[in-house]
Amino acid sequence: MATPPPRRRLLGTSLKMYFDLPTTQSYITSLIPLSDPAQKAGIDLFVIPSFPSLIPSATLLSSTPIRLGAQDCSPFPSGAYTGDVSPLVLHQAGASLVVLGHAERRQHHGETSTLVAAKAAAAVAHGLVPLICVGETQAPSHIASAAVGSAVAECKAQLAPVLQSLPDDAEIVVAYEPVWAIGAERPAGADHVVAVTRELRRLTGARTGLVRILYGGSAGPGTFEAIKEGVDGLFLGRFAHDIKNLEQVIREMSE
């Protein structure tokens, strides 16, 4: 059996609700020149703006390989679901991936893993790649093995329903984002991240579709180098909202 090609690295950021429309378009325009060096280094870039920014962003990115994502989607393709955003419409608007299960959605909107699984199934059915966020809520204890085991158990409980809802050949992205590390001064420890993401790799190992695993949670300079044994890339937060910082991470991931 032929050896499959290595997974390309994946790097991107969500703009959350920080940018207005003009600022988003300025950011997207500044992002475009980074596409060529990233591609040459084997890195796929993605950016996830707010819903109203999707169509103008898709226009700006139309001649680039940069992937455009959405911050959420409905589990329903259409119907009387006021306030929901259809995965079908997101795909038509130019999105190719969608973030699901983010800790902020779970915390502020009460989203469950069952709902995330339904959204993921709807996303795949309408041509979107689900980027599934998982992560434990409590910071590691002083006993490393216990902390890893607890984190893995919590992540598996979040991810397993999603995997069960999707065809084996569907492409997915799993973002390991420890809730306690989001917005913190520093990312989770490298040994902890590698140990947890290796277990997530085992959990998804039987799938035939492409699976890439990212780390998010106060990631910044030096993060990828420290954890690259366990991940395929990074899901960056506000650090990457400064385009110069994103450029720095691309250089580090290219080495």
- pLDDT digit string (tens) for the chain, length 255 residues: 444 567 899 999 999 999 999 999 999 999 999 999 999 999 999 999 999 999 999 999 999 999 999 999 999 999 999 999 999 999 999 999 999 999 999 999 999 999 999 999 999 999 999 999 999 998 877 668 888 999 999 999 999 999 999 999 999 999 999 999 988 888 999 999 999 999 999 999 999 999 999 999 999 899 999 999 999 999 999 999 999 999 999 999 998
User: How far, in whole angstroms, is CA 63 from its chain's centroid?
Assistant: 22
* Domains along the sequence of the chain with CATH: 9-254 (3.20.20.70)
Nearest partner of 57 among 100, 14, 88, 9, judged by Cα:
14
Annotated active-site residue 247? The verdict is no
pLDDT of 183? 84
Single out the catalytic residue among 126, 177, 192, 199: 177
Number of neighbouring beta carbons within 10 Å of residue 144: 13
Indicate the pTM of the whole model. Answer: 0.95
Q: What SS3 string covers 6-58? A: CCCEEEEEECCCCCCHHHHHHHHHHHHHHHHHHHHCCEEEEEECCHHHHHHHH
Q: Name the amino acid, one letter, at 126.
A: H
Annotated active-site residue 136? The verdict is no
pLDDT of 252? 96
Single out the catalytic residue among 102, 126, 154, 199: 102
